[in-house]
Copies of this chain bind each other. A is one copy, B any other.
């Protein structure tokens, strides 16, 4: 896949902008059917696509097969979400006591326009060409340009062709750093979504917000996903915690945005041997790209060299182009604002941080930057400590996980995948789940508008049968007597 030329980019942007109005005006069930069509095509070609992905990303086939299922489930779910929920249809009929100052106002969400998606390397299906960002933008009615990730170019081209087959001019695949940078500042692009590194995301965020006409930039960047284990939980379920931790941080060779990078354990937990043996039992594996192998090795080396940090099991060594999991250990007392231990190390490395008492655990929670997730392992007796923890973590994470592990994100209505900076550029949004659509729509109000000129969702007769807020109350009823001529 060669880099997109200036002429090709212009063509992609021009077609996206040209079809934006008609694509945004398609009946909801038509766009839903198109998303289902893409899902079906991906399922049909699953085995060939997984083989290609395996070759390009070195991720295991079972994991990739599961990811295809998640991706097609997501496409269908977002298609079905187009049931009107995200339209936010709201109607205030004129106040007959003062119809001039309180006229009939009806508002709803409309598509934002052309959306640019930067796909991720670590989820070649679910966060890539036909992933959540693309699916939610298309569901919202926005044409999409996807900037392919260089880690899986052939897979991107194959999946891109499938999507283009269904969506035509409303979808294009572009590639190359220059094309991505040119697109993010093009006036025809109205929003951008990104999943990747803090440095890369920040650079693009700065371009998007630095435009003459700034646009929203939804970046999912780095995340530490700290796990807090109470003394009671460590005592009651220590081995289960140790095993779950290793399984979680080594999943996909540690290349998950929700990888637990920090495990807070009470001093004297006695779980070192268990963690070391579990981690040691996991063989080395090749990371997504050579540059990630190198940057991970460098980051791990820097962690090893940090004062107060020791390596749990230093006997394991990496292969030539493969990487083994590593666990490092330190104490809360050694931490401080800006400690390297608190920075994401993308890959199969994680740090156990030991704490002395409850106050130290709470102090540690305050040191952790914004994160996609925070996890608590606790027992029923721990309510007082847990309450303090939850109150600290609620402001620092998008999802609080209870007695589980952060890896794995359910695609549903309540899903929140996004958190305070630096885990996301906007803590107000999610890149997974039903609400992901909200990123790509904006409200428009119609004042005293005749029925014939109103969108179907806002007419007196609720012909779409959707839930609407009418004069403050939620209802699927028609509007009676309040309509304008």
- Chain B CB within 8 A of A408 CB: yes
> 1/0 per residue A416-447: CB within 8 Å of B?
10101110011110100001000001111111
Complex interface: chain B residues within 8 A of A48 (CB): none
- Interface size grouping (class) on chain A: 35 or more
A444 touches B416 (CB 8 A): yes
Complex interface: chain B residues within 8 A of A36 (CB): none
A450 touches B410 (CB 8 A): no
- Chain B CB within 8 A of A216 CB: yes
Question: Beyond A400-B444, A469-B413, is A452–B395 a contact (Cβ under 8 Å)?
Answer: no
B425 touches A443 (CB 8 A): no
Interface centre among A386, A397, A412, A426 (most CB of B within 10 A): A412
A399 touches B442 (CB 8 A): no
Which among B410, B412, B416, B447 is the interface contact of A443 at CB below 8 angstroms? Answer: B416
Complex interface: chain B residues within 8 A of A474 (CB): 467, 474
B21 touches A444 (CB 8 A): no
> 1/0 per residue A17-58: CB within 8 Å of B?
000010000000000000000000000000000000000000
Interface centre among A216, A420, A428, A447 (most CB of B within 10 A): A447
A414 touches B90 (CB 8 A): yes
B383 touches A452 (CB 8 A): yes
Which among B105, B386, B412, B421 is the interface contact of A214 at CB below 8 angstroms? Answer: B421
Question: Beyond A387-B453, A412-B105, A472-B413, is A214–B444 a contact (Cβ under 8 Å)?
Answer: no
Determine the residue in chain B with the shortest Cβ distance to A401: B447
- Chain B CB within 8 A of A138 CB: no
Determine the residue in chain B with the shortest Cβ distance to A406: B447
> A102-B410, A399-B444 known; 5 other A-B pairs, CB under 8 Å?
A85-B469, A92-B414, A92-B415, A428-B442, A474-B474
The 5 residue pairs across chains A and B that have the minimum distance between CB atoms: A416-B445, A209-B209, A90-B414, A92-B412, A213-B421
